Structure 1
């Protein structure tokens, strides 16, 4: 039914926006900038809930064998880099600018594919890639609240997303679905982030965090973990019922909604050149979706 598809899309958009806003609140407003603990908590709860839902039969998950999991570990490492660097970047960069930089991950994917699989150049896709790249390059020069470390982490975030996208499409084992992939990502992330918590100083820093006993902080952390898991379920549900093109449209609309609402929720300095970078980048993303009529990068 058509209304069920629209309901899944609106549910996805709602969870997407609220999830990003919750993470931004914890990272920027409360200033809990300890990504090994923050992301470790999210992935731990995600892993527990996913395994529990699979055990109860509420989601369809096949048994993950060692032969299937081992080839996926490079992607899991990229996933950890993605969420770790993303947390660092989101804590210091406003949501509209964060999404503008995140769009340039398509440039990374495009370059990797061109190096590995040489093919015919599509003019419209090339224009869209150029628009997103130029916007990302010029944004640091236009951002009134430019933070060098935030943008440096954003570069790592973009590189990991771009490489992960290529790996997911072209190198994933055929017997791993989206939920199985994410389960491996969660378990690997929990292990790696737990090991890294002490050497990075996050564990000691968190013990001195001023909001550690705050009810708001505890509710925010629980909400962020639950919303991350719900976003996974909403994403899988939406992908299963829609084409690649329509899923991309819902993701695009969700990002635009988050960008439009974020100035009403969080304080941010806006300049005309920075807004132009945001708009041009998302025009480029729209052109990319238009050029990608088939399920490809």
Structure 2
């Protein structure tokens, strides 16, 4: 298997793991309080990540103090992401929320241009503008279906963008799995405190099985997302992240009976198309000789 093909499969596996986890959490949200779900899933996830990090030799704190500050900021950003994203997920169709998240390559590119002075040409800026128009078609401000949870989906995109921009500033000395463990642990602790504000519900054996399955899927997503960075050409592999939208469409229809309307589908298509164009232009810019 070529490195590019292996990387593409790992990227698809990562997106599948995260999307299946989202579908299970959305289903569990009808049976259990949100923070209880996050705590129970988080405890299992932290345990699995710890074992994996130790196995890979990535469980250590031997990196600069500046990176530790960045890890802390990333962890706090992830707490906000978890709150906004899961609240949106529990009240919006799975495919709609996933489609909004497909704007991340656009928002990260824009954020890098604004805060890190990275060069972004007019073509990519135009693609970002068109992509944002597509995102507006998905959430449709002012429409009858636009609720506070639509705002939560947009805020989740903002916080993920901050998280990813912070991650880009970390040095290569920071182990990826250590960052993942610290993030999962912070989210679990924060959810534990938040869960004290709501009564816990007894967990039946089938629900416990679903929580365990969700932990397995999110671990699959984390593991594949780490391995994919070590395989193949990023420019070839990155577009396969949009396979998550295909999984979300399929699971939303099969599990919840949801199928996006034509306007939402059009918005999702615009976001994906402009994201692919942005990735293509970024790859093209990297191959050009410096003057």
Calculate the TM-score normalised by the size of structure 1: 0.83
Does residue 207 of structure 2 align to residue 217 of structure 1? yes
State the match for 1:154 in structure 2: 153
State the match for 2:97 in structure 1: 98
Shift of 1:181: 1.3
State the match for 1:74 in structure 2: 73
2:195 aligned residue (174, 197, 206): 197
**Closer, same or farther: CA 164–26 of 1 in aligned 2, 3 Å:** closer
Calculate the TM-score normalised by the size of structure 2: 0.84
Alignment check: 8 A CA contact 1:145 1:269 kept:
no
> Alignment RMSD, CA only?
2.9
Alignment check: 8 A CA contact 2:106 2:275 kept:
no
The total of aligned residue pairs comes to 284
Distance in 2 separating the partners of 1:54 and 1:97: 33
Does residue 277 of structure 2 align to residue 279 of structure 1? no
State the match for 1:184 in structure 2: 182
- Does the residue aligned with 1:231 lie in a helix, a strand or coil? helix
- Does the residue aligned with 1:194 lie in a helix, a strand or coil? helix
Shift of 1:82: 1.3
Deviations 1:42-65 (A, max 9, x none): 33222212222333x3x2305114
Alignment check: 8 A CA contact 1:19 1:228 kept:
yes
Shift of 1:221: 0.7
**Closer, same or farther: CA 291–220 of 1 in aligned 2, 3 Å:** same
**Closer, same or farther: CA 7–105 of 1 in aligned 2, 3 Å:** closer
Deviations 1:182-214 (A, max 9, x none): 122122222222222213x3xx1x32xxxx443
Does residue 136 of structure 2 align to residue 137 of structure 1? yes
Distance in 1 separating the partners of 2:47 and 2:94: 29
Alignment check: 8 A CA contact 1:79 1:185 kept:
yes
Distance in 2 separating the partners of 1:29 and 1:229: 18
Q: Equivalences for 1:198-277 in 2 at 5 Å?
A: 198-199=196-197, 201=198, 204=199, 206-207=200-201, 212-260=202-250, 262-277=252-267
Distance in 1 separating the partners of 2:18 and 2:246: 14
Deviations 1:134-156 (A, max 9, x none): 11122233999825132121122
**Closer, same or farther: CA 294–172 of 1 in aligned 2, 3 Å:** farther
Alignment check: 8 A CA contact 1:85 1:154 kept:
yes
Alignment check: 8 A CA contact 2:58 2:176 kept:
no
- Does the residue aligned with 2:196 lie in a helix, a strand or coil? coil
Distance in 2 separating the partners of 1:121 and 1:12: 25
**Closer, same or farther: CA 257–52 of 1 in aligned 2, 3 Å:** closer
Relative contact order, higher structure (CA 8 A, sep 6+): 2
Structure 1 alignment gaps of length 5 or more: none
**Closer, same or farther: CA 183–213 of 1 in aligned 2, 3 Å:** closer
Shift of 1:247: 3.0
Distance in 2 separating the partners of 1:99 and 1:179: 24
